[in-house]
Amino acid sequence: MNSDLISQAMLDGIELRRQCSETLTEPLLSAASIIVKCLQGGGKILACGNGGSAADAQHFAAELVNRFEINRRGLAAVALTHDASVITSIANDFSFDQIFSRQVEALGRPGDLLLAISTSGASRNVIAAVEKAGEIGMNTIALTGKNGGELGQNSNISVHLNIDYGSTPRIQEMHITCLHILCSLVDDDLFGGAS
C-alpha cells in the first residue's frame, strides 16, 4: 500500500482550500444571497449532478429541508437525482441527457433556483437542465471544476463557483465545503445563527 497517496491527498486538499479561501468569498456571498431571495419569495431549489455530485445535490437538499446546524423551519429544496422510476423512464423513453431537464420542466417555476453541479462542466444532462431553467425564468447557481467547461460558459448562470483544479475528487471535496458554507450563510441570514 502506498502511504504517499494519503499525504498527497491531504496536502493537496489543504493547498486547494487555501487557494479557494482567497477566491470564493464573493461568489459564495452572491450565491447565498440568491438562495435567500428565492426562499423568501416562496421559491424552491432544485439540485442536480451525476455520481458524487448527485450525492452532493441530495446532501444539500437534506440540509435545507431538515436541518444544518440549528433547528429551524424546513426550507424548500428537492434533489432531482433519487427517483429511480422518474429517472429510468425519462432515460428509457427519451434520453439520459434529459433526466434533469424534464424534471426541471415538470417542477420548476419562475423564481425557483437550480443548483447545477458538475466537476467537468461537460455533463450534457446538467447543461440541459440549466437551459431548461433559463427558459422557465429560474436562476442557476453552477458549481464546476477544472476550467468550468461548457457549463461555466452558459449564459443562464447567475453565479458560478469554479474550483480551478484538475482532480475530480479534490474538486468534489471543495464543492461540499462550498455547500456547507452556503447552508451556514443562509441559516445565518434567515434565522440569525449559523451555529
Nearest to 187 by CA among 21, 32, 37, 61: 32
Does 59 belong to an annotated binding site?
A: yes
Of positions 139, 156, 172, 184, contacts ligand I22 by CB under 6 A: 172
φ, ψ for residue 65, nearest 5 deg: -65, -45
Please report whether residue 27 would count as binding Zn ion according to CB under 5 A. no
Interstrand relation of 45-48 and 157-163 (parallel, antiparallel or unpaired): unpaired
Could you tell me which stretch among 26-34, 91-99, 135-143, 165-173 binds Zn ion (CB under 5 A)? 165-173
What's the burial of 174, exposed, middle or buried (CB within 10 Å: 0-12/13-18/19+)? buried
Cα–Cα distance measured from residue 169 to residue 119, given in angstroms and rounded to the nearest whole number: 9
Name which of 144 and 156 has its Cβ closer to Zn ion.
144
Task: Consult the annotation and say whether 155 binds a ligand.
Answer: no
Binder of Zn ion out of 13, 27, 52, 111 (CB under 5 A): 52
- Candidate residues 58, 81, 98, 123; the one interacting with ligand I22 per rule CB under 6 A: 123
Distance CA 88, CA 160 (A): 29
Question: Does 52 help bind ligand I22 (rule: CB under 6 A)?
Answer: yes
Report the nearest approach of Zn ion to the CB of residue 51 (Å): 6
**Is there binding between residue 120 and ligand I22 (CB under 6 A)?**
yes
Asked if 162 touches ligand I22 (CB under 6 A), the answer is no
Can you read off the three cell numbers belonging to residue 114? 437550480
The angle formed by the CA atoms of residues 136, 140 and 145, to the nearest 5 degrees, is: 140
Residues that bind ligand I22 (CB under 6 A): 50-53, 118-120, 122-123, 126, 168-169, 172
- Known binding residues for Zn(2+): 59, 63, 172, 180
